[in-house]
Structure 1
Amino acid sequence: MEILRYAAFSADPAGGNPAGVVLDATGIGEAEMQRVAADVGYSETAFLVPGRHSHFTVRYFSPKAEVPFCGHATIASAVAHAERHGPGVLLLNTRAGLVEVSTTVLADGTVTATLISVEPRTRPIADGDLAALLDALCWVRDDLDGALPPRVAFAGAWHPVVAAASRQRLADLDYDMPALASLMAQHDWTTINLVHRESPLVFHARNPFPPGGVVEDAATGAAAAALGGYLREMRLVRPPATVTVRQGQDMGRPSRLTIRIPAQAGTGIAVTGTAVALSHTRSTEA
């Protein structure tokens, strides 16, 4: 198979979140997908099996386990496909549901991709679970932004949304990885979406990802979509709205995610970004 390597949500190979992409994984078994993802070593690798009429079956693997949906690997896959076959609309059958992703070529030749998430939803987080989460993060309740209540949000995968009152609190992330990994496994949380609201429509984010064997994601499209659903459901924005998420700065891999939140409740959240091929992006596996 041909394994591609792209950084998503950046036009600079030094930024964004790297993802592995296999545009044709026909005949590749689950164990081989997991082995390849572990070998690639990025937070996720996407494996696409082409179908008819722009339909693909897609599976996403971290170095340790399969995840139901991954936004940055979706953006990377769509850009990689567009660069080889031209822009258009792809329909991705993921384990989370059907995800539509469209690509556009800008005047400067940059390819952007926009995914439409599955129906988002949120639910409360129990006091005991929140206390355990804050303890694993080495945070206290006074670190939280009282205007953005903690919730667990979904737009293809579940992510607790926890808002820091200050940008400095977000920058000083130093969590207990084994404790957080254990807590996340208990609740089937994919990443923890730690955010700080700079202004009504601009957020900074960090996403610990210990279940995947990765300390932190530099850009998390699934969590961004979940954040969009959370903001709409909690009436923290007035939709339709466009929100910018800046992620990865504290890791030295700056990323930019654009979220479009439609007004109608229950509709999917749009997440847009670009992706850039990394050097030595292609390799062949028998």
Structure 2
Amino acid sequence: MAQVEVYLIRAFSIAGQGGNLAGVVLNADPLTEPQRQFIAQQVGVSETAFVSKSDKADFQVSFYTPTVEVDFCGHATLSTFWLLHHFQSIAAGKYRQETKAGVLDVDVALNGDILMSQSLPTWFDEFSAQEIAPLLGIAPSLILQTGLPIQAISTGLIDLMVPVPYGVLDCLEVDHEAITRFCQQHQYVGFHVFEMNLQESAYTASCRNFAPAVGIPEESATGSSSGALVCYLNRHFGYQQAIFEQGRAMEVSSRLVTQLTIDKEELTQVQVGGEGAFDRVCYISI
């Protein structure tokens, strides 16, 4: 029986506190897919990243929730490259990771902060407030009040963007079973619910992410969804950068920085970033 070392990192933390825990397993080449899934289940955080060698990029990274493998995970990517830099395995600079969502760029700043590229947005169906509001325990009129559409978008994973008015986000009564059925029916990962903040706020929007269909009732920082959301805000308000708060309702606040590169009116790059912090190490027997 072998023991696998799993590093737990707080991705998108604020001064070393809060953030979203991700597991990172380095030198994961010998591990089989069932072993990776077992490790992710035992670790029990929303995603665990497994870092292997790649012939297409600097690293190959796979991502597992406690129940399934997913194509991409933003906060686990940040955790992976923050840890590699923390161990001085990589210097500050530009890197590429091979994922099931494609080969993606990652920038490591001198201070260890990570800015990662995501896939360019793919836009999917829109849905009515009457269909979605009951799943969140709110009246459809509240969503309609925002004047914004409910739309599924992917910059690596498909999430449903759901706008609510300022002050409503912390009052949701989420029906996890109904969201699971909806996401399984449409092959989405989860719901990314957001409220635009007041102009004087340090955050453009505050967010909550629900992905019970992949074993995550609620997540305190979701990098892939933040990339999708800044694309959504660019389309409707012209934003090219935004700072998001997530995890407040869980009392694990996180800060996510997003940036779009637009060249000759064409979107060419989506980036999401933030800081990481070491939490602890655990050992899983396989």
TM-score (norm 2): 0.90
CA deviation profile, 1:64-96 (whole Å, cap 9, x unmatched):
111111100000111001111133322111111
Corresponding residue for residue 33 of structure 1: 36
Corresponding residue for residue 219 of structure 1: 221
- Per-residue deviation, 1:285: 3.9
SS at match of 1:283: strand
Question: 1:95 aligned to 2:97?
Answer: no
Quote the RMSD (CA, aligned, Å). 1.9
Q: Which runs of 5+ in 2 are unaligned?
A: none
Alignment of 1:214-253 (within 5 A): 214-232=216-234, 234-238=235-239, 241-253=240-252
CA distance, structure 1, for counterparts of residue 198 and residue 238 of structure 2: 11
Corresponding residue for residue 121 of structure 1: 122
CA distance, structure 2, for counterparts of residue 62 and residue 53 of structure 1: 24
- Give the letter aligned to residue 272 of structure 2: V
Corresponding residue for residue 161 of structure 2: 161
CA distance, structure 2, for counterparts of residue 263 and residue 102 of structure 1: 18
8 A Cα contact 1:122 1:230, kept in partner: no
8 A Cα contact 1:8 1:273, kept in partner: yes
SS at match of 1:219: coil
Aligned partner (choices 49, 70, 78) of residue 81 of structure 2: 78
Aligned partner (choices 2, 6, 9) of residue 9 of structure 2: 6
SS at match of 2:8: strand
- Give the letter aligned to residue 124 of structure 2: R
- Give the letter aligned to residue 149 of structure 1: P
Q: Return 171-180 or 33-42, whichever deviates more.
A: 171-180
- Give the letter aligned to residue 58 of structure 2: H
Alignment of 1:186-205 (within 5 A): 186-199=185-198, 202-205=204-207
Q: Return 212-221 or 50-59, whichever deviates more.
A: 50-59
Corresponding residue for residue 185 of structure 1: 184
- Give the letter aligned to residue 51 of structure 1: S
SS at match of 1:269: strand
CA distance, structure 1, for counterparts of residue 147 and residue 178 of structure 2: 27
CA distance, structure 2, for counterparts of residue 51 and residue 225 of structure 1: 25
8 A Cα contact 1:191 1:223, kept in partner: no
CA distance, structure 1, for counterparts of residue 236 and residue 163 of structure 2: 15
- Per-residue deviation, 1:53: 8.4
Number of residue equivalences: 275
Question: 1:210 aligned to 2:212?
Answer: yes
Corresponding residue for residue 150 of structure 1: 150
TM-score (norm 1): 0.90
- Give the letter aligned to residue 146 of structure 2: G
8 A Cα contact 1:117 1:155, kept in partner: yes
Corresponding residue for residue 256 of structure 2: 257
- Per-residue deviation, 1:189: 1.4
- Give the letter aligned to residue 150 of structure 2: P
Greater strand proportion: 2
Question: 1:140 aligned to 2:143?
Answer: no
CA distance, structure 1, for counterparts of residue 272 and residue 61 of structure 2: 18
- Give the letter aligned to residue 209 of structure 1: A
CA distance, structure 2, for counterparts of residue 96 and residue 203 of structure 1: 26
CA deviation profile, 1:220-268 (whole Å, cap 9, x unmatched):
0000001122222x24124xx2201011111110100011122243423
Q: Structure 2 vs 1, CA of residues 44 and 250 (structure 1 numbering), >3 Å: closer, same or farther?
A: same
8 A Cα contact 1:2 1:285, kept in partner: no
- Per-residue deviation, 1:11: 4.3
8 A Cα contact 2:14 2:254, kept in partner: no
8 A Cα contact 1:123 1:151, kept in partner: yes
CA distance, structure 2, for counterparts of residue 261 and residue 148 of structure 1: 20
- Per-residue deviation, 1:19: 0.4
Q: Structure 2 vs 1, CA of residues 12 and 191 (structure 1 numbering), >3 Å: closer, same or farther?
A: farther
- Per-residue deviation, 1:173: 2.1
- Give the letter aligned to residue 214 of structure 2: G
Q: Return 23-32 or 84-93, whichever deviates more.
A: 84-93
